[in-house]
Amino acid sequence: MTGRFPIEDVSPVVSCGRYPAKAVVDEPVPVSARAYREGHDALGCNVVWTGPDGEARPFTRMRPGEPGQDRWHATIRPDAVGSWSFAVEAFQDPYLTWQNAVIKKIAAGQGPEDLANDLAEGARVLAAARDLVPTADRPRVADALTALVETDLPLPQRVGPALALADLLWEHPVRELVTTGDTHSIWVDRKRALYSAWYEFFPRSEGAVGGRSGTFATATDRLPGVAAMGFDVLYLPPIHPIGRVNRKGRNNALTAGPTDVGSPWAIGAAEGGHDTIHPDLGTPADFRAFIEAAAAQGLEVAMDLALQCAPDHPWVTEHPEWFTTRADGSIAYAENPPKKYQDIYPVNFDNDPEGIRAEVLRVVLHWVGEGIRIFRVDNPHTKPFDFWHWLIAEVKAVDPDVLFLAEAFTRPAIMHGLGKIGFTQSYTYFTWRTTAAEMREYCEELVESADYMRPNFWPNTPDILHESLQHGGPPMFKIRAVLAALLSPSWGMYAGFELFEHVARPGAEEYLDNEKYELRPRDWAGAEAQGRSLAPFLTTLNRVRRDNPALHQLRNLRFHEIDNPALLCWSKHDPETGNAVIVICSFDSREVQWGNTTLDMPALGFDWHERFTVHDELTGTSYDWGQRNAVRLDPYLQPAHVLTVRRPAPPTETQPAGAEPADLTVAEVPEDLSGGTAPTAPAPTAPVPTPPRRSGPVPTPPRRSATRPPASAPTDAAPKDARWTS
């Protein structure tokens, strides 16, 4: 321990400070610590925080938490990308100590003679405070000091002005015996690191005709449709030359036919490697034009970073030492039993690590130079962690706006470790959480990890078609989209999800006729014109996300009780704007489900007894709600309520001209101010007793009538026959 007061258990701190915590620009970042002192004098705490420019940010006082726990809390809001630092300070607060003593002694009937020493101490504190408050407030402090030492005034008028300074001296305290804790770091990314909506498509499939690959030019025609659905990140699988040696055929067949295009993840051929564009897609100039066209639609292009090679990748010839040689002298291909990837050679990072690092950094910075600021990293858990820690830091030193999404479906410790060492976002276990209880438990784990791991929820990928989508019908596609889009601030989907593609390869959790191994052009416009597309529904979800700032955050996710295990109820609330969204989603794609909510009203910014209006963004219907509400969800109409909260306008009251100020109320002050409150005293008058604090349960309003769906289904709802064909 160093310093006068103990400061412990500071948050956010990742792995005892080994790695920086994470935030994004303008994100409310909660800071907390445990601090305490001996005796009964008041303790105060504050956060000292400094931006990447080296400039200290405004003084930020911490508020005490649950009484008796000595936990202190504050919220900071970083406003720039880069490395920030913060420390917690604890100090003796002589004003609060004085205020506590004076209020108690006056309430006990003590007069000016009994309080002589206290009044003198108050004068000392105010004399010190006079130079600490803003210039405009100094006359108030001076007047309070004058009244305090004026012996001819009645006692209430002597102490009243000083007690009325409680709010001012909370924000600008007199600090004595200041103790500064350890300095900790926070890396702040741009907002897209936390809040984003991803869409994945294969550019070679867009505009493909007669077995001929599409190009960047033909894929440009798909951009308006993706943007119209409200997505803001367009993720492309690898765009590099594809190996010919051991090329896979359709549906991962070991032998490729003469027209088979191969897997984009089998990177490298005679035309080049990781810094080269597949000639069928176009030229570097075509790629730059594609990026510009996407940006014009509000889409940022994300690129795949897959550090693996086809057998005919130039690295295999130029640097055979970068790979693993087996006992028979052949180079080991990738395996994930029972899967075999004969068309892919993994890189062995323990062979010439310096050479490999230099080459990978060169490749990444090449694409950064071409305008790429987001990389989706393929299987990062199969490469050394110290390599990623080094690479991400090196890239961010060149351009701090570059983001990295970790595609790692592996053990929890490894996924969390990747987040800690620098990955901006992470794929998750979302796909395999298929009950309300499982989803709630998992999301609560993710919220606890928000200081270093940002989730990105995907209901499908080219490799993953969960059985819930294979057999759940179109309502399940809506359910998974609602869960992904509204639980996590970042979500994504692979093309074809909006067309309800659901046919799996027998015995596998992946698509039949997988686009990884063949061209798959789709008639997007025709499907939408015929009502066979989920695009209108997805557009609504992304609009709701965009219009409600509460949905741009992760830390504010709160679950509420509902008495049907097939339903999940959650909310997000943004205290700064007052914006709040409540979602109730069914996990049953076949049957109507009823449920009764018990809302945590303070989590929504309400007192327990209040009522408010909610507007269902999916049906256009509004309801009068309170703590307890009945809901009915029909999956063939809408399997979820997406409710935006509309708060009643506060009454406006004006004080008549010349009215007297409110009477002075003696604020209730805890016995031990080491972790107590900062009471506020209004204008001076004779002290009056404080009313007792109310205890016990708060009465709940009577149950209201259930929500009822509209008479007809919205235009984007799937009918019961579901157009569900294989």
- Chain centroid to Cα 124, Å, comes to 47
Report the C-alpha gap between 64 and 165 in whole angstroms: 19
> Are the beta carbons of 308 and 267 closer than 8 angstroms?
yes
Report the C-alpha gap between 92 and 86 in whole angstroms: 20
| Token duo for residue 202 | 């294969």
| Token duo for residue 577 | 């704007």
Q: Is 248 annotated as a binding residue?
A: yes
Report the C-alpha gap between 246 and 38 in whole angstroms: 73
Q: Is 189 annotated as a binding residue?
A: no
With both helix axes pointing from N to C terminus, report the angle between 412-420 and 385-398 in degrees, rounded to the nearest 10.
Answer: 30
445 belongs to the catalytic site: no
Choice among 378, 501, 588, 672 that is catalytic:
378
Q: Is 638 annotated as a binding residue?
A: no
66 belongs to the catalytic site: no
SS3 699: coil
Q: Is 564 annotated as a binding residue?
A: no
Element (H, E) at 598: strand 593-598
Report the C-alpha gap between 665 and 662 in whole angstroms: 9
Q: How far apart are the first and last CA of the chain?
A: 68
Q: Is 516 annotated as a binding residue?
A: yes
HSE-up of residue 667 (Cα within 13 Å, Cβ side): 21
Q: Is 494 annotated as a binding residue?
A: no
Q: In sequence order, which ranges of 252-310 are alpha helices (DSSP H)?
A: 284-296
Longest dimension (CA), the chain: 105
Report the C-alpha gap between 477 and 470 in whole angstroms: 10
Residue 200, C-beta contacts closer than 8 angstroms, at least 6 positions apart? 234, 235, 236, 237, 461, 462, 492, 493, 494, 495
With helix as H, strand as E and coil as C, how does 618-645 read? CCCCEEEECCEEEEEEECCCECEEEEEE
> Are the beta carbons of 318 and 355 closer than 8 angstroms?
no
Choice among 200, 359, 407, 518 that is catalytic:
407
> Are the beta carbons of 503 and 511 closer than 8 angstroms?
yes
| Token duo for residue 366 | 């090449």
Q: 29-35 and 628-633: which strand pairing? A: unpaired
Element (H, E) at 479: helix 473-487
DSSP per-residue string spanning 324-379:
-B-TTSPBPPEEETTEEETT-EE--TTSSHHHHHHHHHHHHHHHHHTT--EEEEE-
> 442, 433, 707, 434: which is closest to 587 by C-alpha?
434
Active site residues: 378, 407
For the annotated binding site, the residues are 248, 308, 343, 379, 516-517
- The binding site for alpha-maltose 1-phosphate consists of 248, 308, 343, 379, 516-517
